[in-house]
Amino acid sequence: MDVRRSRTKKPDKWLATCPDFSRPLCEELRELVFRWEPDLTESVNTNMLCYSGVKRVCSIGAFLKKACLTFFRGSELPDPAGLFNAGLENHSIRNIEITSLDDLDRDALKALLRAAVKLDASPDTPPPPPNKREPFPMPDHLGAALKMNPKAAAFFESLKPTYQREYIVWNTFVKLQETKDKRLAETIEALNKGRKWAQRKG
């Protein structure tokens, strides 16, 4: 998503300065939002047209070869038509990237926008818990080295999973045996000194 400084704070001028390809897409999306949810407030923020109720509900972004309709609490919305096609890995935001409006299911989009506005009107509804990241597998050579170095292993176990992951990933994606051996030695030395991965050369 483009988060550059906005070209202007005026929606009409913002539309006029959109790329040639995405301008008509953005104009029609804007018209649909106004038609279906006229009570939303329009503004320009982070170079996007934003529509707000209690909080920001959705936004329209203009790009060289596409327009993007973003729902800020999209992960909480029903999407039986499968309109969301980008940002699916995000915790809350979901995007609909559009290169043509010819095949856009307007009824499904209208239902999605209505659901987003209804959700926004219920601020006490808690967001879903964050997705837990799957643990990264311990490489065999690092696991074996930790077993042979109790002090290093003890400090490694005391680290939060995020910091453990840094060492694990660093020792996983390496091809040359020479580099593999060097990183392993640096890892054990740093852990013995009680240092996190970012501090290993300190």
What are the tens digits of pLDDT across the range 4-55?
455 678 889 999 999 999 999 999 999 999 999 999 999 999 889 999 999 9
Whether residues 41 and 99 share a domain: the answer is yes
Whether residues 145 and 107 share a domain: the answer is no
Whether residues 78 and 144 share a domain: the answer is no
Q: What's the half-sphere exposure (Cβ side, CA atoms, 13 Å) at 150?
A: 0
Whether residues 19 and 116 share a domain: the answer is yes
Does the residue 16 lie in any domain?
yes
- Are 1 and 61 in contact by the 8 Å Cβ rule? The answer is yes
What are the tens digits of pLDDT across the range 91-129?
889 999 999 988 889 999 999 999 999 999 986 666 655
- The H helix count followed by the E strand count for the chain is 7, 5
Q: Is 133 exposed, middle or buried (0-12, 13-18, 19+ CB in 10 A)?
A: exposed
Whether residues 18 and 92 share a domain: the answer is yes
| pLDDT at residue 2 is higher than 70 | no
Tokens matching residue 187: 């890892």
Does the residue 1 lie in any domain?
no
| Angle subtended at Cα 161 by Cα 159 and Cα 166, rounded to the nearest 5 degrees | 85
Does the residue 128 lie in any domain?
no
Domain edge (last residue) among 85, 120, 155? 120
Whether residues 68 and 164 share a domain: the answer is no
Q: Which of the 8 DSSP states describes residue 192?
A: H
- Are 119 and 113 in contact by the 8 Å Cβ rule? The answer is no
Q: What is the CA radius of gyration of the chain?
A: 24
Which residue stretches of 121-170 are H helix? 140-148, 150-158, 161-170
Q: What average pLDDT does the structure give for the chain?
A: 88
Tokens matching residue 184: 């392993």
Query: CA–CA distance from 150 to each of 34, 141, 172 (Å)?
Result: 64, 15, 21
Ramachandran angles phi, psi of 186, nearest 5°: -65, -40
- Distance CA(60)–CA(134), nearest Å, equals 32
Whether residues 100 and 192 share a domain: the answer is no
Range of the domain at 15: 11-120
Does the residue 103 lie in any domain?
yes
- Distance CA(75)–CA(94), nearest Å, equals 6
